[in-house]
Structure formats: structure tokens, C-alpha cells
Chains A and B, each alone.
Chain A
Amino acid sequence: MAEFEPKIIAFACNWCTYAAADIAGTSRIHYPANVRIVRVMCSGMVDPIYVLKAFEMGADGVLVAGCHGIDCHYLNGPVKCDAMFEKLKRVVNTLGLEDERLRREMISTSESPIFAQVIEEMVEQLKKVGPSPFKVKMEALA
């Protein structure tokens, strides 16, 4: 059987992390192809349901990434995101998901190497943890 390749959904803020991922591409920084990026206007708009839905549809890991606190295009997006994330983390922990599956990062436009590094780390950790427990249902359907 082929080695398990985790699927990661990354919610990336348009102004920082998405731009960082873009620059990582133009500067030819290598990082694993396991990540699917969803561009959002601000990390503050990421709703818990986006993350839960990603897990429901078989994601192995979810990354929520946006600007550093003071860089926000809309003043307080990261503050909102942090508040949402803290609660969501508790819900997801109660469900029994491992800590590695849900990650929050702040990556600014100029930090494309960090973006690549975060994805590499996540893929490595998820390979150790294995497929998401919610995947079973999805594979049964396929």
C-alpha cells in the first residue's frame, strides 16, 4: 500500500498568508503538495463550521492562517480568529481529534519560507498521526 498522504485544508488570509503562499510559488520554494488553500478575505471570517465541514469531508488536518495582530487589513481580524479558534479547539478536542490536526498560524506576506516550513511540519506530523477518524465514513461512500 502506498504511503499515507495527508490532505490539509488551509484557510489563508488574502492579505498575508495567501500572498506568502503565492510568493513561495514565484520564488520556487519547495513544500509538499498535500495542502489545498482556500483564500478567505480575513482570518477573522473563518467560522467554526468551515473547519468542521473540512473534517466532515475528509480533511486530515486544517490550518487557519492569517496576518500578525497589528498587520490586519481590517483592524482586529486576528483577535476574532483567536477567540474563535480557542473555542473550536476545545470542541475538536472533545471530539477526540489529535492536537496536530488543527493549527493556527500567523504568517505575513514576507514570510513565505515560514509558510513552506509550517506545511512541511504539518505533513510530517500528520503522517505520524495517520488518517483522520472521520475519513472512514467518506471512504465508505466513495
Chain B
Amino acid sequence: MNLEDIIQETKTYYCLECGKCTSICPVARYDPAFSPRMLIENALLGFEDELVFNQKLFSCLTCYTCQQECPSDVDFPIFVRKARTIAQDNGQHGVCAHSGQLQSLARLMTSPTIKQKRLEWLSKEYSVSENSDVLLWVGCAPYFEPIFEDIEFRALDITEASLKVLNLLGIKPKLLTDEKCCGHDALWTGDIETFKKLAEHNAAQIKEAGVKKIVFSCPEGYRTFKLDYPNYVDLGCEVQHISELLAEKIGQKGVKFKEINKKVTYQDPCRLGRHLGVYDAPRKVLESIPGIELVEMKHSGWESICCGTSAWTNCDSYSNLLRTERLSEAVETGAELLITACPKCQTHFRCAMVDKGEEHRPTPKIEIMDLANLVANAIEEGR
């Protein structure tokens, strides 16, 4: 794909140069060298090298905040994603966080002959069924487990909580023994080749499993399956985020919650909120738990601020400032618990909280938990 095609496809030529994207961009607020408008200008004026060899191309969070404000409806995140494929062809891949381990794992997983041991955490207290119609997508959680041990983040906690909730709702899901990374990060960093291989493998696995619905506890996987897989592979089944499933089931009789007296606030993950428009389902779930008081942050809903890094690239001091700002917003609400629905939001916030901050400006601290964990704690057994 060349630059001209990308401009045609994302309708970048409608750009009015108004700069609303840069004014609302959470990264541009801190990083003076990053400007969505400038990236678009470079593309429109044909300065391909300035666009492709610009390290800031990988700083974009693809959080879709700019697209909400754009009067010409330019699809900037997709423009960035496609420009990154050209960058990858030219050997540019941004500064990979965690020394590039996570990108490397995705590439390693493309090997057709590996036999993963990804369900070793599964204990007998959870019931799973081979013949179920519903599949619970585990995703990268088993890999995140050792990597993020230092920041006291257990990704599998979220998976286990989701499994527990599904069990208590009377669903015995199927788990795949050989699913692979969904390819979200490979796709958004422009590594299409890796993405395609992963997508093809996963689609084949799902077809073989013969399920009707896939439930996700990770919005990134959800987005990839819902919006990106159809362009490459045929899935032939429904996909749903766990918060949507819960919102559906909560109205039904038989689902009971015990009281949890806590003031909470909710962080909209960008993939769930702005990408897919799921704002109400998680809030409905939170409000239906007795004793939970939901207070909104200064920026919430479509305005909510991203957790600061996407696809494990270009995590820098500006990303940390962004996280700190978001954490202070959460603390300012007076809530004692920050709820999010994305494992990556949690990783990034926990990572920011490990840093003590400066003496005059310590990093705000707040307890953070996934929506699935809260529901798993609240839902009553033996319904």
C-alpha cells in the first residue's frame, strides 16, 4: 500500500487544517513534538519520508479522541495504522516498551508447530466444557503473568474472575488450548504479515471449535475480532465483551449481588468506548451492584483520557504524565476504587503508580480493579 492509497481510503484529503485533532489529542498536550495535524499535512503535501521516518508516528495512541472532534470525519487512527505499515516496510517500528518482548512473542506465536501450555493456571474450582457454545477468550493473559509480576498485576486474575462470573451465571465456557495472540498490537504497529498469520490460525481454531459466541475480558481482543478480523478472515460467530454479557444477564431473575459499600469511578478503555461505543453496559453493571456509588471523572464517556500507551510502543515520560493526570482525576472524584474493563489500562496505571513521583508532586494512588473482578466479588453463589 502506498501513501496515495491511504489518503484516498481514509479520506484524509478532506482535512481542513483546523487543528482540532491536535488541540484535543492527549499526547499533543504534553509532547510538543507530536501533532496529528502535522502528520496529515506531511502526507497531503507528499512528504512521505517526513511522515514515515518520524518516530512520533508511533506515539499516537490510536485512541479515537481526535476522530470524535474532526469536522471532516478524517479517520486519523486508521490513517496512522496504515502509515505504520509503510514505516515497517522501511524498518521503522517505534521504540518498543519492555524491550520488544511482547512484539517478539506475537511473532514467535506465528510458528505453526508450537504447542503452547497456556491453560496451566486452570484449577478445578472452575467448570469448563468441551461442547459449549460459548468460548471465553483468554488471550495474552498467561504471558502477561510473569512479565508484569513486578508491578503486582495479575492478568490471569481477570480471566479467572470472568470464568467465575460465567460459571455463576450458569455458563460453562469452552477454552481453547491453542489460541494465539489476537494480533491487535501487530496490526496497530503496522506488522500486517504477523497479524494475518495469527488471524488465520485463530479463525481456523474457532471454526474447529464450532462455537456460537466468543466472550472477551479484553477490549483489544474484542475490537480486533469484531472490526478487523472480518476484513481478513471469516469467523462465523458472534463476539461480545463480558460487560455487555453481564448487562444483558443482570436484568434476568436469579442474578443476585451482595452489598459492596464503595465509591467507585470508571475508566473507559479506548477500544471499548470510542472504538466500539460501549459506554453504558459497564456502567449499568456497576450501578446494579447494591452499595456501589459510581462517580464520573472530569473526563468520562467519549471524552475520557487514554491510559497513555497503546500496542507497547513509544512509552515515554509524556505517557507517564498522561497517566498521572488521569490518576489525579480519579483521585479527585473521591472514589476509593478505580474500575476499568481492560487489562492493559490496569497494567499502565499500576506501572505509573510504582513510580513515586517527585517530592512536590507525588504520583496519586488509588486502588485499581477490573470490572470482572468486582462482579466476581459481588455476585452471590448458589443462586
Chain A interface (Cβ within 8 Å of chain B)? 47-49, 52-53, 55-56, 87-88, 90-91, 93-97, 133-134, 136-137
What residues of chain B lie closer than 8 Å to A134, measured between beta carbons? Answer: 108, 111, 114
The SS class assigned to the B binding surface is: helix
The answer to whether B2 has its CB under 8 Å from any CB of chain A is: no
Q: Are A94 and B108 in contact (CB under 8 A)?
A: no
Interface size on B, residues (CB 8 A): 24
User: Can you give 7 A-B contacts (C-beta < 8 A)?
Assistant: A56-B108, A94-B116, A95-B108, A95-B109, A95-B114, A96-B116, A96-B117
User: Which residue in B104, B111, B115 is a CB contact (below 8 Å) of A49?
Assistant: B104
The answer to whether B99 has its CB under 8 Å from any CB of chain A is: yes
With both beta carbons as reference points, the residue of chain A lying nearest to B119 in the complex is identified as A94
Q: Are B145 and A90 in contact (CB under 8 A)?
A: yes
Chain B interface (Cβ within 8 Å of chain A)? 99-101, 104-105, 107-118, 120, 142-143, 145-147, 149
With both beta carbons as reference points, the residue of chain B lying nearest to A138 in the complex is identified as B111
Q: Are A95 and B105 in contact (CB under 8 A)?
A: yes
Q: Are A48 and B99 in contact (CB under 8 A)?
A: yes
Q: Are B110 and A137 in contact (CB under 8 A)?
A: yes
Q: Are A56 and B142 in contact (CB under 8 A)?
A: no
When chains A and B are docked, how far (Å) is the Cα of A136 from the Cα of B113? Answer: 8
Q: Are B114 and A93 in contact (CB under 8 A)?
A: no
- Looking at the assembled complex, report how far the CB atom of B14 sits from the nearest CB atom of chain A, in whole angstroms: 41
Q: Are A87 and B147 in contact (CB under 8 A)?
A: yes
- Looking at the assembled complex, report how far the CB atom of A110 sits from the nearest CB atom of chain B, in whole angstroms: 33
Q: Are A95 and B104 in contact (CB under 8 A)?
A: no
- Looking at the assembled complex, report how far the CB atom of A44 sits from the nearest CB atom of chain B, in whole angstroms: 14
When chains A and B are docked, how far (Å) is the Cα of A97 from the Cα of B143? Answer: 14
Q: Are A91 and B105 in contact (CB under 8 A)?
A: yes
What residues of chain A lie closer than 8 Å to B100, measured between beta carbons? Answer: 49
When chains A and B are docked, how far (Å) is the Cα of A72 from the Cα of B320? Answer: 34
User: Which residue in B99, B110, B117, B149 is a CB contact (below 8 Å) of A94?
Assistant: B117
Given contacts A55-B108, A136-B112, 10 further A-B contacts (CB under 8 A): A48-B99, A52-B108, A91-B105, A91-B146, A94-B116, A95-B114, A95-B116, A97-B114, A134-B111, A134-B114
What residues of chain A lie closer than 8 Å to B113, measured between beta carbons? Answer: 133, 136
When chains A and B are docked, how far (Å) is the Cα of A30 from the Cα of B256? Answer: 71
